[in-house]
Amino acid sequence: MVDFVYLVPLFPLLGFISLMLVGRRLGEPAAGYLATAACGGAFASTVVTFFGIRGLEEEERQVTKTLFNWVIAGDFGVDVAFLVDPLSVAMMLFVTGIGTLIHLYSVGYMHGDPNFSKFFIYLNMFVFSMLILVLGDNLLLTFLGWEGVGACSYFLVSFWFTEEKNAMAGKKAFVTNRVGDWGFMVATFLAFATIGSIDYLTINGTAAQLSTPVLAALILLLFVGVMGKSAQFPLYLWLPDAMAGPTPVSALIHAATMVTSGVYLLTRVNGLIYEALLHAQWVTNIIAWVGVGTAFFAATIAIAQTDIKKVLAYSTVSQLGYMVLAVGSGVFVAAIFHMITHAFFKALLFLGSGSVIHGMDDDQDMRRYGGLRKLMPITSATFIIGWLAIAGVPPFAGFWSKDEILLSAWDLGGLNGKLLWFFGLITALMTAFYMSRQVFMTFYGDYRFGDPDADEVDEAWAAYLAHAQDAKLEAGTAADDAIEAHTKAVAALETAREAYVDAQIELSQAADEEATVAAQKVVDAKSTAVDKAEAAEEKAQAARDEAGAVAKAASQADADARSEASRRVEPAPGEQLTAGAASEFVPAAVKQRAEHHPHESNWQMTTPLVVLAVLSIFGGLLNLPFTSDLHFLEHWLEPSIVFEHKFAASGLTKWILAIVSIVAGGIGIMGAVMIYLKHNADPKKIEKPILLDAWGYDRAVSAFMGGPGAKMFEGIAWLDANIVDGMVNGTGSFVRGSGSAVRRLQSGLVRSYALGITLGSVALLAWFLVRVAA
């Protein structure tokens, strides 16, 4: 039955090929169901393989199934061979199992996407590569899968590549992982050079004979690869950006499976790490501290994120740090246990967030969520189960596995172990806090999707102020116009008065000069002049009155506008919008959201949620700590792991540690309740901008790589082009140069050749004679 293992990668491969050929013609949703069936077939074959392995004696549970010889070079050989053992089977079970669920979910999630079938091509190719990675019995075959999943990750992160942000995110993931792959490749070369073989069984078997420097170099180089793939500090920074991909991809690749392959690799070479634990503990200490440091660091960042998927991304980085901590503590079972439970609940959380995003018109900002519990009952119920699992609430799955890791750190002993444990514990507290924050912001509180958020309120205020400024300017212009009119009217009045006075003077002069001549005329002229002057004055007075009224109104409008504008120049930060004031200026997006009605997702999406929720509740049953009989996972993995770990801590210590971690989780949850549910404190005190900015690490790396780093690498490129290539090219041009110099000897003249032969023979003869004589 172990032979069924061949079918495991074959199913996704067939799915991949057939989708390549006919995917577009199958269309939606048939292509999706075909891919789901392929992954389901792999799962079924894995289950059969599982029973096949279980049926063997415990000592025989490491079966190598060789397909063909891949590389043959002298004594060195690499086969395409599958190492079927409890570890790889356990990994395959959850890769294919969760993979199938996520395939099904994707059928619902990708509904209506123009590249529907292409998405499933990548998904099946990913599952195939992942299975090769898991099944490979040597570093090279694992590397093949390792690169395959990396390529699929790249394709899927930038799946919606028409937006530049997404394309950049994919590129970032790919380039960052190349740094890690460098470590993996050099480690493979080193294993070949020192051990002479790169298959895991030989490497683990000869670990004890390796010298300490070689052992340390092997482990640390592999660990560089792990830092890349499993998103550990300092190479974690691609994972949060990878959230640009469709949410099922985030769940499958960037939370549940691919990112755990680094931890899987370290567990594969557990013989090496066990040897380091015995003789070179500083090596494992590096691993443990990088793990706990990453866990802690990422958790602080997760606290302030506003994007629902970014929180989960940093949470994933943090949880991977836990697994690495477990490996560094030498407790591989705890690492695998957490890997499995994490796959359950993190896939659940991601799919849940995808369901929310889907229902909320592709909006990912948690500040706009709230009160979704009633609108999305299935999503919220399952999400809450995932939250309880990751927050470490017993009896959900996450509690058992996280507690086991904290216990392993404590069990290292000494100050080192206690410090590791302490940081792990604080991380657990923060995990509980930020996950509770997420749940409360999303599912509790008031429904406020149609309300503008803080940024949009600011935007509305800005628009309003700009508008008020315009009104003020307009009023000012009107007032200026009125004043001008007034001035003109006054001037007209003055002219009229002058005319009146002139008329009177004219009148009296006329009276004097022609009093007797035209007395009647005088009377006529007088009355005409008086009428004219009076009419002019009347007209001017009216114009003046009117101008005065206009000027008054204008200055009133000006004053109003000024006072209104000055009242709003400095709105209190976050001032609520009141009706009639700035509320008309909210961005159009808000109005669009207000008209949107959130809805529960369809059955393809909710079914996986329910299954994963059940697994998140009961996942702890795999390895309950109470009695040895309940350590199912530990007993199952025994044949794969060189060293059987026994905790030194007493039963009482274990209980105390468990209670302490429950209390820590409780504090985290209560803190979130106070701030986000009861609003007893301002969230801004916790959500510092520097946390939202990930401590500026991302920007610092970009600044370095854009400036001095780029110069440094340009320098190295120059060295490569001129010194390294120069030596190679120099050899070539030396040969060519000396050749063209010596070429002249070949004159083509037979007689000169004959002369050469003769002279040579004479010289030889002379030499012989001298030797004989001597």
Partner 1 sequence: MLTPTYYLVLSALVFSIGAVGVLVRRNPLVMFMCVELMLNAVNLTFIGLAWGLNDIGGQVSVFFVMVVAAAEVVVGLAIVVAIMRRRDGATADDLSVLRG
Binding site for partner 1 (CB under 8 A): 743-751, 754-755, 758
Q: Which residue has the tokens 């599958």?
A: 82
Which CB atom, from 535 or from 765, has the smaller least distance to partner 1? Answer: 765
Please say whether the beta carbons of 406 and 428 come within 8 A: yes
Rounded to an integer, what is the distance from CA 47 to the centroid of its chain? 33
Cis peptide before 12 (omega within 30 of 0): no
> Considering beta carbons, is residue 501 or 766 the nearer one to partner 1?
766
Q: How far is the CB of 744 from partner 1 (least distance, A)?
A: 7
CB 456 within 8 A of CB 587: yes
CB of 21 to partner 1, least distance (A): 59
Report the alpha-carbon distance of residue 241 to residue 309 in Å, rounded: 10
Burial of 460 per CB tally in 10 Å (0-12, 13-18, 19+): buried
* Tokens describing residue 762: 């004479």
d(CA 501, CA 314): 92
Between 563 and 752, CB nearer to partner 1: 752
Residue whose CB is less far from partner 1, 721 or 754: 754
Residue closer to partner 1 by CB (options 528, 752) is: 752
If DSSP codes are grouped into helix, strand and coil, which group holds residue 293?
Answer: helix
As measured in angstroms, the least distance from the Cβ of 764 to partner 1 is: 14
CB 403 within 8 A of CB 658: yes
Q: Where are the alpha helices (DSSP H) in 627-687?
A: 632-637, 651-672
Buried b / exposed e along 430-446 (16+ C-beta atoms within 10 A):
bbbbbbbbbbbbbbbbe
Which among 680, 252, 679, 152 has a CA at the least distance from the CA of 444?
A: 679
Q: From the CB of 763, what's the least distance to partner 1, in Å? A: 14
Would you say how long the chain is, in residues?
Answer: 774
What the block records as the tokens of 503 is 């008329």
Tokens of 570: 């400095």
Q: Is the previous residue joined to 246 through a cis bond, with omega within 30 degrees of 0?
A: no
Name, in order, each residue with C-beta under 8 angstroms of 198's C-beta and a sequence gap of 6 or more: 78, 138, 139, 140, 188, 191, 192
> How far is C-alpha 73 from the geometric centre of its chain's CA atoms?
42
DSSP state letters, 87-128? HHHHHHHHHHHHHHHHHHHHHHHTTT-TTHHHHHHHHHHHHH
Other CB atoms closer than 10 Å to residue 187's CB: what's the count? 24
State the nearest-atom distance from the C-beta of 742 to partner 1, in Å.
8
Whole-angstrom Cα distance, residue 107 to residue 134?
26
Q: Give least dist CB 74 to partner 1, A.
A: 41
Joined tokens for residue 581: 């004031």
CA–CA separation, 444 and 434 (whole Å): 15
Instruction: Give the dihedral of Cα atoms 528, 534, 540, 543; nearest 10 deg.
Output: -110
Closest CA to 204 of 636, 638, 644, 640: 640
Look at residues 189, 4, 183 and name the one whose alpha carbon lies nearest to residue 82.
Answer: 4
Cα–Cα–Cα angle for 226, 230, 234, nearest 5°?
A: 75
Other Cβ atoms closer than 10 A to 723: 9
CB-wise, 705 or 765, nearer to partner 1? Answer: 765
Dihedral sign (CA 209, 211, 214, 218): positive
Task: Kindly give, in sequence order, each residue whose CB lies less than 8 Å from that of residue 682, ignoring residues fewer than 6 positions away.
Answer: none
Give least dist CB 739 to partner 1, A. Answer: 9
Q: Nearer Cβ to partner 1, position 572 or 745? A: 745
Quick one: which of 359, 354, 352 has its CA closest to 379?
A: 352
Residue 747 CB, nearest approach to partner 1 (Å): 6
CB of 752 to partner 1, least distance (A): 9
Q: How far is the CB of 225 from partner 1 (least distance, A)?
A: 54
Tokens for 15?
């799915």
Cβ contacts of 124 within 8 Å, gap of 6 or more:
12, 13, 15, 16, 19, 35, 38, 39
Distance of CA 28 to the CA centre of its chain: 28
DSSP, collapsed to helix, strand or coil, labels residue 395 as: coil
SS3 84: strand
Nearest alpha-carbon partner for 352 in 366, 368, 339: 366
